[in-house]
Structure 1
Amino acid sequence: MQILDGKSLALKIEETLKEEVQLLNKKQITPGLAVILVGDDPASQSYVNMKAKACKRTGIYSTTHEMPKSITQDSLLQTINMLNQNPNIDGILVQLPLPQHINTTTILEAIAPHKDVDGFHPFNVGRISANLEGFTPATPMGVITLLQAYDINLKGKNVVIVGTSNIVGKPLGALFLNHKSTITLCHIYTNNLIEHTKNADILCVAVGKPNLITKEMVKEGAIVVDIGINRLENGKIIGDVDFNNVAPICSFITPVPGGVGPMTIASLLQNTIKATKIRANL
């Protein structure tokens, strides 16, 4: 069994991005990322802080627009419109989830596609699904990058993805399909989940349910990618996979924390640099 170490790989990616930013700076170009945080959800605040620190480490200019939970949708749209027109901002990220009175789809569609570094705009979703150039959602992008870094061949692999969110499950399925994998998407209404997971060469889980995947559900030698993040009452962070019992039968497995999480942030930074280069016609 080998650990898929996302933390170490993310640091290597950051070093490369730092060099790219320095080259851009020599051309009087500074990459800029704007993050919009609505409300005071502790998990969202934590993610935003991690993203800001990563930007600082790599030399990307970042700004956070903190807004009260009671903000109106119109006010939020005005801020996005302002950032769309700001030439110093290459990427716009709206931290999810948003309060219930705000229509998430309307907000995400308001972001200019060329600044959509989260890859959630339907324009980019469509391009990725069609295997065309676009902005790939950060978490799925991070998963593929991590697997490729360990020379894992995706072609022809049976890939089972548990969880079909627009943020992770669906785009991750599209990426595997683009890499010639055979994919199965499972969700809360899937009957006999074990019948699917037991056949997986690569099993990806993104549900948000601690220890959902047990040893009996995984075949010997499988590659397991745990994308779930769950905080227990004692404060410990664990994934969706029963790591201690599943790990010994895997060929590769991601830890939580230290697996997919750092790769998500690294991928976001990669998308921001990509947006900068598009802006600068590089």
Structure 2
Amino acid sequence: MKGAVTVFPGSAPHGTLEERKIMPETNDNKPLEDDAVGIEAFDDSELLDPEPQQTPAEPAPKPKKTKRGYTKLELVLVVLLAIAVVVIVRQSGIRNSETQLPKNHPDISSMHGKATSKAKKPGVTLNDGKVGELKKKIEANPQDIDSHKDLGKEYFDAGYYQDANTYFGRALELSPDDLETLLMAGVSEFNVNNFDAAEKHWTHATEVDATKPEPWFNLGYVYLMREPKDEAGLKRAWDKVLELAPDSDMAKAVKEYRQSAPGPVTGSDSKH
């Protein structure tokens, strides 16, 4: 059974691998454990242009702050907050002897086991007042895209990924090409093991704006989770990151992963 991805502060791509055993989120409206990917604030000024580049069809969406301080790049799987290590989950559990971790990888020996009802961070609970306020806005105006997105974020931050998926999904029904929602929805789907859905959202994001490296970076995790690992897809996705943002933290993470990970992809990075 495959499981959620975890981002740790460190020097690996939002992905270098280790494996652990974890159960998917249940349907009893309980949040997952505290090691799932979260949407955190980070400084995106070094990664993307202050003004998004224009596409022939329509202008790319400008970074937008919500009342909770999110920017369009906090979508990157959260990912850029901590370029780090993807914990690969497979049926066999943790296989320390078969995988290689990057330098500064945190100890994950106690992480395998079943998911719990805890939120992703100790003390994090659902903001019922905020949730109620947003639901009233949606009831008054079902076409309110921002309220759907913000409600998805509230559930996401508390670890209620299934509920987050519901509201991100509704936001995408209203605005299918919203880059922020596509990226966040992919993260949320990924955290409940819906890897095909995550791939669909992130692939669409590459079509919405071909100049952004974030969806390509995130897609690498989908290919890492394939059984067997999709080496060709992984190389294609992360080569694109190196092409679009060669000096970014994402590119640095890709290079570190390739230097430390066994397999065909490792040697292919020597030229970058």
Tell me if TM exceeds 0.5. no
Q: Which has the higher strand share?
A: 1
Q: Please give the TM-score of this superposition, normalised by the length of structure 1.
A: 0.31
Mark the structure with the bigger radius of gyration. Answer: 1
Q: Please give the TM-score of this superposition, normalised by the length of structure 2.
A: 0.32
